[in-house]
Structure 1
Amino acid sequence: MDLPSPPKSLWREMAPAAEDTPAPQGNISCDVAVVGGGFTGLHAAHAFADAGLSVAIFEAGPVGLGGSGRNGGVVSAKFRRGFAELAKSHGLDTARRMHGIANASVDHLIATIERFDLQEAGFRRVGALKCAHTEAAFDHAREEAEWLEKTLGETGLHVLDRGAVVEETGCDGFVGGILQDRAGALQPLAYLQGLWAAARARGIDIYSRTPVTDISETGAGVRLRIPGGEVLAGQAFVATNAYSSLTGATRRLAHSLVPFRSSIVATAKLPVDLNARLLTHERSYTETRRMMRWFRKVDGRIIFGGRGALGHVESPAALRRLEQAMRTIFPMLGDVAVDYRWSGYVALSMDGLPMAGMLSDRIGYAAGFNGAGVAMSGYVGDQVAQLMTGRPHELALIARASLLAVPFYAFRSIGVRAVTFSYELMDAAGL
C-alpha cells in the first residue's frame, strides 16, 4: 500500500496547518515506541507518559493523513455489532461488559478534551438520530431500543415518530427514528492536532513523515528501523490500523484486517432558507439501510458519508454515487454545489469488533475499529497501555489471545466488492 497525499477535506480547510517534525538522523532511545500517530497511538502515548515512561511516536505521513484526521467526527458509544447480538453469541454478562466499554469510550474522550483543554475540537453532545427508512426497520429499531433500556439500563433513548424526524431532518424520506442524546460530534482533525500538541507539551517525542520499516526484538527490548537511523525501546505499541500494510514492519497485523474505503462529501454553504430547514439540531444522523450512510451539518454545510467506495485509489464514480445518495435523501439541495470530496481507508475486522492485545511480550497493538472508532480507538489505545504497564484495564471481547488471519487475504478486495454489491441489491429491493 502506497502512502497517499493528504486529502483536500473540509477538516483541513477548517484547521490550521500542522507542523511536520521528521525524526532527526541517527539513533533514538525511549521506554516505549508508538508506531502510528492517530487517535489510538496518541491516547496510548499519553497513558504511557502517565506511567512515568519516556515515549516516542512515529507517524508515517503528515499529521492526520489516516482515518483519525478525515473521519466524520461522530462520537458514539457503539460497536459495529449490536449489544443484543453480542448477548446472543457471547452471553449477557459479556454484552454488559462491552456496553460498559462503549460508554466508557465516550467518557474517556470527554475527559481527555477537558484534561488538555482541547476547545478547538469543537465537541458538542448533540445526540445521534438513527433514521428508519422502512416500517420494518423502524420496528426493529424500537425493539432494539427497548431491549437496551430494559436489559442493559441504557438511558437517553427516545422514539421519534415520522413527524418528529421530518422536523429534525427537514426531509420526508424516513418513517421514524431513535434518538440517543448521549452521543456527540467534533472536528476530528482539530481533535487530533490537539492531542499532538498536548503530547509535545508534556515532553513526548512525536515525529511525522517517519515510517517504521522494520520491528525486531532484541535481548534488551525492541529495535525499530526508521529513515536515517534506529529506535531502541523497551516496548513498542503498534497503532497502524487500516494502513498496516504500508511497510513490512506491521504486515502481520495487516493480514488480520480488511481495508475498506470510506468517503465523505461536503456541500457548499447552504442558502439561508435551507440552512434554517435542514438538520436544525445539528446532530449526527444515520440511516438503517445495510449500506448505511450518515450525515451532519457543519459550518452551514451538509456533510454526507458512507462506505462502498472500492479500490486502492479514490474513485470519482464512487464519490458520484455518494453524492447521488445525498441528493436522494435531500432532493431540496437541487443545484447546491459539492465543495469537498475525500476518502480513505478504515479497517474492518473479521468479527466486527476491535482487536487488541500483545503480539509478543514487548509489543502491543490495537486495530480494527470498523468505522466506529472516534471514541473507541482512543479508549482501546489507553487500555492496552494500561495492560502493558501492569495497571487495571478492561477490554472484554476486544482482547485477543492471537491474531486471526483473513481467509484468502490476497482476494480480500473481491470479497468486499461481493458483499457491497449484495447489500446494495437488498437495499434497492427494500429488504
Structure 2
Amino acid sequence: MPPQPPAALSLWSDTASQPPQTAALDRDITCDVAIVGAGYTGLHAALALAAAGLSPVLLEAADLGAGGSGRNGGVVSAKFRRSYPDLARQHGLETARRMYDIAHASVRHLQETLDRFDLADTGFRKSGALKCAHTDKAFARIKAETDWLENAFGSSAGRILSSDEVQEETGSSIFHGGILQEDAGTIHPLRYLHALAGAVTKQGIALHTRTPVQTLREDPTGVILETPGGRVRAAQVLLATNAYSSLTGASDTVARCLVPFRSAIIATEPLPDQLDRQILPSERSYTETHRMMRWFRKVDGRVLFGGRGALGAVDSPTAFRRLEKALHHTFPELRDLRTEYRWSGYVALTLDGLPQAGRLSPNVSYAAGFNGAGVAMSGYVGHRIAGAMTGRPAELGLIHRDRPLKLPFYPLRSLGVRAVTFGYELMDMLE
C-alpha cells in the first residue's frame, strides 16, 4: 500500500466534531458510481448522485480530513484566482459574468446544503471578506476592479474602505485601504467535512476510508478499481482527488493537470481580552494583496495566519517562521503570544487559474484544481459534475472541459513552483 498522508495535527483536529464510523473496504463490491476521494467534492457528488437514484460508493485513501478538506483555512469565498476583468478580456464579457454567477452560486450551494441536511455544527458565519491593500498601488488596483465589476455587471461587488476604516476593521495600521465583500464567510473546515460525511452515511451511502485505489481500468462493462481489500466494479467513476491526485497511479491523469502548492497555517494562543477586542473584532476573513498571498482570521479568540510558499513535501519550520514574521509585522501587539499550532497542506493550482471538471473517458469523470479557493467551489463543482454524470447539463462555464488542460513539462513542476515563488517574493519585496 502506498504511504498515505496523516491527518494534520491542527487547531481543527483538536476542536473537531466526531466523524461517522467508517471502515476500509474488505470485499469485492459493485456500484453505479465509484467516487475516489471523500473530500468536499466527493461528498457533495455522492449526495447528488444518491438524490438522482444511483448507488455511489466513496473510496478515501486515508482517514477523513487527511487531505485538503481537513487542512484548509475555512474561508468561504465567491472568487477565482483569475480576476473577472482578465476573464472578460480573454473570453468575453458574458463568459466573465457567467463565472461571476457561478462563484456566488457556490456560496449559496454551501448554505443550502447546511440547511437541507441540518448541518448545524460547522461554525459557519456569513461574516464577509475584506481584501486589504498593502500599498497605494494595490489599493488603486482593487478599487479599479471593483468599479469595473459594478459597471460591467450592474451589481455591487464590494464596499471600498479607507485606510482608517481598514485599521478599525483589522486592528492593524499597515494597510492602505480595502474592499469589503459581503457574500463570503468562514467555517470550521473539519467539522464541515465530518458533518457532510455524516449526511452521506445517513443517506445509506457507503463510505470506505483507508482504501486507496491502486489501479483503475476500463472494460466493456464499466470500470474496475483495485484496492488493498477488494475490487470495485462500477458503471462510472468520479476522480475527486484534487491536490493529492499523485498518491497512486489511478488518478495520474488528473495529477498531470495540477501543481500541488504547499500552503501553511499558524494559530496563536488565545488573545488577552483587550487584544481580542482590538484585533479583528468583526471576525471576517481577511486577505492581503501580496502576490504571495497571505490571509488571516480569528477563531475562538486566536489569530490564524496563513500563506503559500511552504516548499517541499513536509512541514517546513522556515515557512512557519516566515508566517510568524509576517504576522508580527501585521500585528506587532502579538509578538509576545505563543504560536500554539502549525500545519500545512497542498492546494491544487492549474495552468489557467481555474478549476477543471469533465470527462476523461465515457465512464470516468473528474473535478479538481480549485487554486486555494475551494471550500465552497469544490462542493458546488462536485454537485454539478455529478449531475452531468446523470445526463444533466454541467452548467459550469469555463470550468467544464472537453479534455483536461495538462501541464507542460510536468516532471519539472517542482522547479517551476520554486521559480514562481522566488519571482513573486522578489516582486513583493521590490514593491
Same fold (TM over 0.5): yes
Q: Distance in 2 between matches of 1:47 and 1:347?
A: 24
Measured after TM superposition, the shift of residue 20 of structure 1 is 5.3
> Residue type matched to 1:366 in 2?
A
Question: How big is each residue's C-alpha offset from its partner over 1:168-221, in whole Å with a ceiling of 9 and x where there is no partner?
Answer: 000100011000012111001000100000000011000111111111112111
Judge conservation of contact 1:21–1:209 (CA < 8 Å) in 2.
no
What one-letter code is carried by the residue in structure 2 that aligns with 1:158? R
Moved more, 12-21 or 386-395: 12-21
* Cα contact 1:20–1:63 (8 A) shared by 2: no
Letter in 2 for 1:356: A
DSSP 3-state at the match of 2:57: strand
In 2, Cα distance between equivalents of 1:314 and 1:334: 22
The TM-score, its normalising length taken from structure 2, stands at 0.98
Residue identity opposite 1:244 in structure 2:
S
One-letter amino acid matched to 1:419: V
Q: Deviations over 1:102-144 (max 9, x none)?
A: 1111111110011111111111110000001111111111111
Aligned to 1:284: 285
**Structure-2 residue corresponding to 1:392:** 393
Supply the AA of the counterpart residue of 1:9.
Answer: S
Once the two structures are aligned, what percentage of the paired residues are identical? 58
Task: Give matches, 1:343-362, under 5 Å.
Answer: 343-362=344-363
In structure 2, what is the Cα distance between the partners aligned to 1:318 and 1:287? 17
Residue identity opposite 1:262 in structure 2: S
2:11 aligned partner, one-letter code: L
TM (norm. structure 1) is: 0.98
> For 1:416 and 1:383, how far apart are their aligned partners in 2?
30
State the match for 1:409 in structure 2: 410
Q: How does 1:21-36 map to 2 (within 5 A)?
A: 21-36=22-37
Shift of 1:18: 2.7
Q: In structure 2, what is the Cα distance between the partners aligned to 1:401 and 1:156?
A: 31
1:191-340 paired onto structure 2 within 5 Å: 191-340=192-341
Gaps of 5+ in 2: none
Please show how residues 21-60 of structure 1 align to structure 2 within 5 Å: 21-60=22-61
- Give SS of 1:375's match: helix
Partner of 1:426: 427
Q: Structure 2: how far apart are the matches of 1:280 and 1:207?
A: 41
Report if the CA contact (8 A) 2:394-2:400 is conserved.
no
Cα distance in 2 for partners of 1:149, 1:310 equals: 38
CA displacement 1:137-165 (0-9 Å, x = unmatched): 11111111111112123336111101111
Match status 1:104 vs 2:114: no
Question: Match for residue 90 of structure 1?
Answer: 91
The CA deviation at 1:42 is 0.5
Paired AA for residue 263 in structure 2: S
**Which residue pairs with 2:365 in the alignment?**
364
Give the distance between the partners of 1:407 and 1:227, measured in 2 at CA.
33
Alignment root-mean-square deviation, CA: 1.1
What one-letter code is carried by the residue in structure 1 that aligns with 2:423?
Answer: S
CA distance in 1, matches of 2:350, 2:193: 23
Letter in 2 for 1:107: R
Contact between 2:149 and 2:157, CA under 8 Å: does it hold in 1? no
Task: Report which stretch shifted further, 22-31 or 336-345.
Answer: 22-31
SS in 1 for 2:401: coil
Letter in 2 for 1:138: F
Distance 2:393 2:242 in 1: 24
Cα offsets for 1:343-381 (capped at 9, x unmatched): 011111111000010011011100000001001000011
Partner of 1:10: 11
CA contact (8 A) 1:20 1:208 kept: no
**CA–CA distance in structure 2, aligned partners of residues 58 and 39 of structure 1:** 13
Please state how far the C-alpha of 1:3 moved relative to its aligned partner: 2.1
Partner of 2:163: 162
Aligned residues: 430
- Output the CA distance in 2 between the equivalents of 1:374 and 1:219: 36
1:152 aligned residue: 153
Distance 1:74 1:428, change over 3 A: same
- The Cα shift of 1:405 comes to 2.2
CA contact under 8 A between 2:241 and 2:368: conserved in structure 1?
A: yes
Q: Which runs of 5+ in 1 are unaligned?
A: none
Please tell me whether the aligned partners of residues 286 and 292 of structure 1 are also in contact (alpha carbons under 8 angstroms): yes
Farther-moved stretch of structure 1 (396-405 vs 149-158): 149-158
- In 1, the alpha carbon distance for the partners of 2:120 and 2:21 equals 22
For structure 1, which segment, 64-73 or 146-155, has the greater mean C-alpha deviation from structure 2 after superposition? 146-155
